[in-house]
Structure 1
Amino acid sequence: MSPSPRPTAALAMSRRAAEAVLEPSVLEALADAVSLQPPPVLGEFSTERARSVLADAELLVTGWGCPPLTAEVLAHAPRLRAVVHMAGSVRGHITDACWERSIDVSSAAAANALPVAEYTVAMILLTGKRVLESARDFRAARAEVDWSRTPREVGNYRRTVGILSASLVGRRVLELLRPHDLRVLLHDPYVTADEAAALGAEPVALPALFARSDTVSVHTPLLPATRGLVGRDLIDAMRPDAVLINTARGAVVDQDALTEAVTAGRIRAVLDVTDPDVLPPGHPLWSADNALLTPHLAGSQGNEWRRLADAAVDEVRRWAAGDGFAHPVDRDRLAYLA
């Protein structure tokens, strides 16, 4: 069924998400494209108001904290034809029932990939130069540093960077690394050698990625098949003083094996995600000098939320005009997307 001349849309996300992404100008832009149900947003689907809103909704604009769109929920939304997600992954709320109803789905995952990739490239370059350690030592010494004693392995000239998975983020990282004098390796079983070359990387097997890289950056989605993918054998194979960067999901990495390698001083780590997220207060990684833990900040934050909102507004406009989505989510490719 095609959208009506002015389709009815509703907002479904947590209150915190709404406060972050739904600026007044965003709501105005959405209301220009569709007949938008006014806030408050739907934070749950079981209330009388929620069911009343769902009964008329042809489009849902969702965000972080949107409850799952189960078959029971969809039974109260007979006119629903599309979902535009104002964030990245849709795994938390798009269920099999949505695909079985042939509901069109769009996501701002491509927009959210940009700041994650920027964070990753910044950390690749900073750790290659050992900036964080040097700043810490400089603060402690408060004296001139003898630059001539810098070890030969410090720096980013022809440093080898390994990218685990050519996901949306992984591909953006590869693109941003192109101007730098780095050797780039890629492991992704779904990418051919020619495709890897086009991305500016040398395709390698998983063990080789870890054994040959000075820095390994993880961009693999968390799936049953990838849980613990970066296990003890791969971590043990990393070069001394190599860096593991993880901006994907903590459970992709064997947390115990990583902790042992880091606290032993054998490798370094930059972790925007851990398993669990957040680590217990007494966890040894908190106090490890060669580990940097950040609070899941690589993804969109602050003014970057507006990029997500703008991407979603563009998709709403396209769908309302009958043009289809520019960034549709394909059910068959969900298993390969971070």
Structure 2
Amino acid sequence: MKILILGGSKFLGRAYVSQALARGHEVTTFNRGISGADQPGVEAVHGDRTDPADLARLVAGRHWDAVVDSAGQQPHDVARSARLLRDHTDHYTFVSSVHAFTDWPAALVDESSPTHPCPADTPPDQPHGNALKAGCERALLENFGERSLILNCGLLIGPHEPVGRLPWWLERIALGGRVLAPGDPGRTVQLIDARDFAAFGLDLLERRETGRYVTTAPPGRTTYGEFLEHCIRATGSDAELAWTDDTTLLAAGVQPWVELPLWAPDLPDWHGTWRPDTSRAVAAGLHNRPLADTVRDTWAWLQERGPSTRPWAQGDLPLGIDPEKERRILDRDAS
């Protein structure tokens, strides 16, 4: 097949490219050329999807069997891409998120759950917000119709992760000593390797599947305690996990999800965080490799890449707890 990937140079887009090439597909990537190197074997077209002239140059004289949009964040941009590409491709995959669902993270969500009321014609350059993914979905459906496939992804991890939730934990645990571990070690988490997400997305694309799939690891598959133990084993660290309950952490002013990545406290607003229903995706062939393999491969990538020049961050928010703040909480817990 001939496949166009909007993005394709970092993390999920990179995983799509690698696996599509390995399957023998012809791959064109379209990105600005600043987020990462183009992978060998692709037809790399550099341009900005917000620029109509760049999009027109991309499609001139070309036709693809399918498009994968792993980079759409603004409804305005997705609408423009879909309008221009609908006569140049037969199928359009849009990577959305569970953030698009109104009830997430407070409640369980599935493919029938309502999405945020963000319109398809939302003006461009909106500040980042969960509702924008819902607007992107509407923009695709209004401009591309029934040839669309929407994948609502959960928490993606694996090599080349740019946000750094798993990398932060690996680097912290590699330092050793007592490590502030949040909440209940038996609390379940849903973490999907970006490579498994891309493999499933390509399976659906090759079958010309349409509609919507909630795409992450099945609920209850692993626990936070197992996740951190995998980090200890992968790094060979002598770290000692000091499990600290939600109440103590919240009283100490620890910010969930950001200061201790992936920590969702047992509060009503967070009850659905690790409960998205993936049964439709599993029935369609979604496979999740062992979490230990993802953790090990991510640690190997970090070692190969070397120290980063920038701290891990979720948007403008730096990831990870200040070492002095962590020490104070650990000392208070031990006294």
Q: TM-score range by the shorter chain?
A: 0.3 to 0.5
TM-score normalised to structure 1 length: 0.35
Q: Which has the larger strand fraction?
A: 2
**If you compute each CA radius of gyration, which structure gives the higher value, 1 or 2?**
1
